[in-house]
């Protein structure tokens, strides 16, 4: 169990991020077309999972826009923005922000992702959604980088995450 903060107040997070070098846990998430997707849906590509509480918050929106900029023109990598938001809200956000180079995925049908990836907030006002984290996988779904952002109102370390993709 990890502890992060929300504006300085501690909150508990269930589990631990996957270990670097380990095989990433499979998942079942929902895309904007209400289709279920898994790791195999992105087989053979490097993956960056930008795990956020909600796309509809300033820090989450900023991280999505920044990862979208990096994703443009990169056919070997997929950027997955994972949140508890419904696919309809994710689609509205991505359309308004013009973030067509990333894929927004929802946990609406299956909350196992948050537990399996060690990002489920257990207490406080955000209980039931995810902490802010980045997990980078190679093309064989091996974990090459992780970051659990210690203060939920802070942005992730973009440079380290992007460097892990190269």
SS3 sequence of 17-34: CCCCCCECCCCCEECCCC
Q: pLDDT class for 155, splitting at 50, 70, 90?
A: very high
- Whose CA is closest to 81, among 110, 47, 119? 47
Q: Which residue has the tokens 């696919």?
A: 87
- Does residue 166 surpass a pLDDT of 90? no
Q: Are 4 and 149 in contact (CB under 8 A)?
A: yes
pLDDT of residue 1: 80
Please report the sign of the dihedral spanned by the C-alpha atoms of residue 149, residue 75, residue 105, residue 115.
negative
Q: What percent of the chain has pLDDT over 70?
A: 100
Q: How many CB atoms lie within 10 A of CB 95?
A: 11
- Does residue 111 surpass a pLDDT of 90? no
pLDDT of residue 80: 97
Helix (H) or strand (E) holding 144: strand 143-148
95-103: list long-range contacts, CB under 8 Å, 24+ apart.
97/61, 97/64, 97/65, 97/68, 99/64, 99/65, 99/68, 100/68, 101/68, 101/69, 101/71, 101/72, 102/50, 102/64, 102/67, 102/68, 102/71, 103/31, 103/32, 103/78, 103/79
Residue 60 annotated to the active site: yes
pLDDT tens per residue across span 116-153? 999 999 998 999 999 999 999 999 999 999 999 999 99
User: Which one of 11, 52, 55, 60 is the catalytic residue?
Assistant: 60
Please report the sign of the dihedral spanned by the C-alpha atoms of residue 71, residue 77, residue 83, residue 88.
positive
- Does residue 158 surpass a pLDDT of 90? yes
* Size of the chain in residues: 166
Average pLDDT over residues 104-116: 94
Average pLDDT over residues 90-94: 91
pTM: 0.95
Q: pLDDT class for 100, splitting at 50, 70, 90?
A: confident
pLDDT tens per residue across span 39-68? 999 999 999 999 999 998 889 999 999 999
What structural domains does the chain harbor?
2-165 (3.40.30.10)
Distance CA 91, CA 133 (A): 21
């Amino acid at each position: 169990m990890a502890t992060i903060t929300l504006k300085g107040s501690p909150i508990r997070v269930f589990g631990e991020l996957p270990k670097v070098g380990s095989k990433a846990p499979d998942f079942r998430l929902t895309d904007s077309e209400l289709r279920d997707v898994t790791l195999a849906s992105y087989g053979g590509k490097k993956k960056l999972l930008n795990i956020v509480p909600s796309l509809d918050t300033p820090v989450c929106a900023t991280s999505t826009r920044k990862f979208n900029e990096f994703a443009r023109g990169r056919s070997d990598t997929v950027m997955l923005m994972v949140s508890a938001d419904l696919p309809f809200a994710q689609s509205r956000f991505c359309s308004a922000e013009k973030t067509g180079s990333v894929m927004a995925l929802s946990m609406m049908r299956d909350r196992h992702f948050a537990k399996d990836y060690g990002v489920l907030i257990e207490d406080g006002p955000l209980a039931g959604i995810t902490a802010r984290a980045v997990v980078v996988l190679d093309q064989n779904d091996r974990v090459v980088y992780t970051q659990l952002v210690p203060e939920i109102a802070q942005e992730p370390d973009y440079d380290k995450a992007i460097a892990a993709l190269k």
